[in-house]
Structure 1
Amino acid sequence: MILGISRRGWLIAAALLAAFAAILFAMGRPPICPCGTVSLWHGTVQSNQNSQQVSDWYSFSHVIHGFIFFGLSRWLIPARPLWIALALAIGVEAAWEILENSAVIIDRYREVTMAYGYSGDSILNSVSDAIFMVIGFLAASRMRWWATVVIAIAFELFTLWAIRDNLTLNVLMLVSPIEAVKEWQAGG
C-alpha cells in the first residue's frame, strides 16, 4: 500500500488516466504543444503554450480540485476505501477536462474570460492536470483539514497576485462573467 492506496487502486487510477488520454486523442486533441516543444513549466498565460505544457499557473487550481474532491469524498462516502474515492475523483476531473476541451467550452472561454486565443489543452497538459489533482487529493488525505484550507487560500491569493486569475475567478467568469473583472484581468 502506497500513500493509503492499494496496488489495485493504483492500477485502476492508471487505467482511468490512460482511458482519459485515449478519449482526448479520439477528440482530436494534440498530444503535445502544437509548437513542438515539451516543457515542465510554462508561465506566460497569454501565449500559445499556455495549457499545452506539463504545468502552468493553472496547475495550482488542479491541486485545489484534489483538495475539494478529497473533502467531498470523506463527507459523502466516508466508509469507502481511499482508492475508490480517488478513482471517482479522477473520473470527475477527467470529465471536466473532456468538457473543457469541447468546442462549446473553448468558445465560452474565448468569449468571457481573459483566454482570448485559447484553443484547448494538449493531452499532455490535461493528463498532467489530472495528476496535479491526484497530488492534491493525496496531500489532503495526509493533512489536517485546516491546513488544506490554508494552502488552498494561499494558492488562490498567489495566482490572483501573479496572473490576475485563479480557480474562483475562473469559475465566476465561466458561469457569470463580469466585464469589470475581465478588464481588470486583461490589465486595464
Structure 2
Amino acid sequence: MPRRAAITALLLGLAVGAILLAMDRPPICPCGTIKLWHGAVQSSENSQHLADFYSFSHVIHGFLFYAAAHFALRGRARNWALPIAVVVEGFWELLENSPIIINRYREATIALGYSGDSIVNSLADVGWMAFGFWVASKLPAWATIALAIGFELMTLALIRDNLTLNVLMLAWPIDAVRTWQGG
C-alpha cells in the first residue's frame, strides 16, 4: 500500500473520531479509565475500552473488506482498498452510535443497557478492522476463513454472541435467540 493511502486511512480514522466527538460521544469510558481489555459483556464498561469480545467481529470486518476489495478492485485501485474500508467501518461506527441504532440494540438484542461506544472504543474498532484487513492480506484465503469461523465459534461459546448473531438480531430479531443469549 502506498504511503499516501496509509496516511489517508489514518486521516479518515481521525475524522471519524472528530465526528463522534461532535456527536457528544464520551471520549473514554465514563468510569474514567482506558483498559486494554474488558471482557465482561453485560457491563456498563462494554464497548468502552480498546478491546473486548466484539473486537473479534471488527477483525472479521477487515477480512470481509479485504475479500470485497480483492474481487471488486483491480490494478492500482487496490492500493486504496484500506482507506475505502476505513470509510465503511467509520460509517458503521457513526451509525452504531446514533440514537436509532443504540435504541435498536436495546430493543432487539440482549444489550439492554447499551449506551453506545466511547470514542476510544470506536477508533480501536476501526483499528481492529484495519488489523484484520492486514492479516487477510498476509494469509491464504483458507486460513483467513478458518480464522473467521474460529472467532465466530469462540465468541458464540464464550459470550453467546458473534458477528453473525449481531447482524441477525439487528436485522430480524428472533425471540428464541434473544432468550438463549440472555442465558
Give the alignment's TM-score, normalised by structure 1: 0.95
Root-mean-square deviation (CA, aligned residues, Å) is: 0.8
The alpha carbon displacement at 1:82 in A equals 4.0
Decide whether the 8 Å contact of 1:41 with 1:54 is kept in 2: yes
Work out the number of aligned pairs and report it.
183
1:158 aligns with 2:151: no
Q: Percent identity?
A: 57
Aligned partner (choices 34, 37, 58) of residue 38 of structure 1: 34
Give the alignment's TM-score, normalised by structure 2: 0.98
Structure 1 unaligned blocks of 5 or more: none
**Which position in structure 2 is the counterpart of 1:135?**
131
Aligned partner (choices 72, 75, 78) of residue 79 of structure 1: 75
The alpha carbon displacement at 1:79 in A equals 1.9
1:176 aligns with 2:178: no
Letter matched to residue 136 of structure 2: A
SS in 2 for 1:80: helix
The alpha carbon displacement at 1:81 in A equals 4.5
Deviations 1:35-89 (A, max 9, x none): 1011000000000100000000000000000000000001011323544000000
Moved over 6 A (4+): none
Letter matched to residue 33 of structure 1: C
Structure 2 unaligned blocks of 5 or more: none
Decide whether the 8 Å contact of 1:106 with 1:120 is kept in 2: yes
Letter matched to residue 34 of structure 2: V
Aligned partner (choices 18, 21, 26) of residue 25 of structure 1: 21
